[in-house]
Structure 1
Amino acid sequence: MNIERLTPGATFPNIEVLNNKGECVPLVNPISPEHWTMVVVYRGVHCPVCTKYLTQLQEMRTQFQDIKVDIVAVSADTVEQLNRKLDDVAAEYPVYAGLSMDYMKQLGLFVSDPRSDAETDHPFPEPGLFIINSDNKVQIIEIANSPFVRPDLNMLVSGLGYTRKNDYPIRGTKSI
């Protein structure tokens, strides 16, 4: 099995997704040059664990803003499914739909098939989190194969604050 993986220090790929109006937009589009972007890949409208995580992100949004880290979230859902999710999550950060299988592969995400039509109607990514620095390089990667494995957001905001303040280098750049 040949598994492609995005590696720390690599340039983050140009990925286009859909906003809640169905318009094609760039996934990473920092609000200013010194800002970093945290890309949170979530499973989709069917996942209650994702709803909880996206809500926690909203609750901590100002802490990430204080350290100049923009938040975006994305799934493989349709725009209709995205809008149903937004009914459950009052996010003041961009939440996108339309992450394609090709993009999931570029990001090295694990992908699952739905267990039934009641869950969803398409393959979907398992959780992933990417921190993209102001040079469009991957600073941090966290990829999971289960909805129950996600970075602790309190630890993440603390670590990112330290990283930004101390110019902490990109770690894990060696492959074996």
Structure 2
Amino acid sequence: MTSPKSAVGKAFPTIDLPVLGGNTRSLSTPRDAYDWMLTVVYRGKHCPLCTTYLQDLSSALPDLNALGIDVLAVSADSAERSSAQMQEISPAFDVGYGLSVAQMQTLGLYISGPRNGMDVEGPFAEPGLFIINDQDALQIVDISNVPFARPSLTSLVKGIRFLRGLSGDFPVNGTHA
């Protein structure tokens, strides 16, 4: 994927990451009970705004799950750093770790280095949000270069509820060549 902008409506890249508690998850494949996937990329433990956003994501999880959406949050942090941050959040969604720079590039994310964050292990991804539909295509994408410019989860849930409530297939926005 060269750019998520050019990839909406197309297959999402296959990227697998380890998740806290064991196992591995694909960023694009929902668990069996769900047919859509929401993958949230967050900056990591060093980012207090990310902690708040993930807490909000935990609050929105029942609504997202009711819409048939599985949720996965991922970062470049190590398992230890991810685990320490999740003690503040206690998420009911899976948390992946170890996102590589090459994987960040594949997703079209902005990447920052240690100079852009305090107490970081190395390069890290700036925020990204990807919603993959039941056709394994990228339906919604939001990428930012700063942690304070992310979509409201309340608005996102309302928008997805609208999309999922429409009869027939709603076309992916932004695909006109």
Name the counterpart of 1:9: 9
1:84 and 2:88 are equivalent in the alignment: no
SS class of match (2:142): strand
Q: Cα offset for 1:139?
A: 0.1
Task: Report which stretch shifted further, 91-100 or 16-25.
Answer: 16-25
Aligned residues: 173
Task: Report which stretch shifted further, 117-126 or 153-162.
Answer: 117-126
2:67–2:161 contact (8 Å) kept in structure 1: yes
2:20–2:94 contact (8 Å) kept in structure 1: no
| 1:138 aligned partner, one-letter code | L
CA–CA distance in structure 1, aligned partners of residues 25 and 34 of structure 2: 21
Gaps of 5+ in 2: none
CA–CA distance in structure 1, aligned partners of residues 27 and 75 of structure 2: 11
Q: Cα offset for 1:103?
A: 1.1
Name the counterpart of 1:100: 100
| 1:26 aligned partner, one-letter code | S
1:21–1:79 contact (8 Å) kept in structure 2: no
Name the counterpart of 1:162: 162
Name the counterpart of 1:18: 18
Could you tell me the percent identity over the aligned residues? 38
Pick closer, same or farther for the CA change 1:117–1:173 going to 2, 3 Å: closer
Matches within 5 A, 1:50-129: 50-115=50-115, 118-129=118-129
Pick closer, same or farther for the CA change 1:128–1:118 going to 2, 3 Å: closer
Name the counterpart of 2:176: 174
Pick closer, same or farther for the CA change 1:120–1:130 going to 2, 3 Å: same
| 2:8 aligned partner, one-letter code | P
Normalising by structure 1, we get a TM-score of: 0.91
Q: Cα offset for 1:117?
A: 8.2
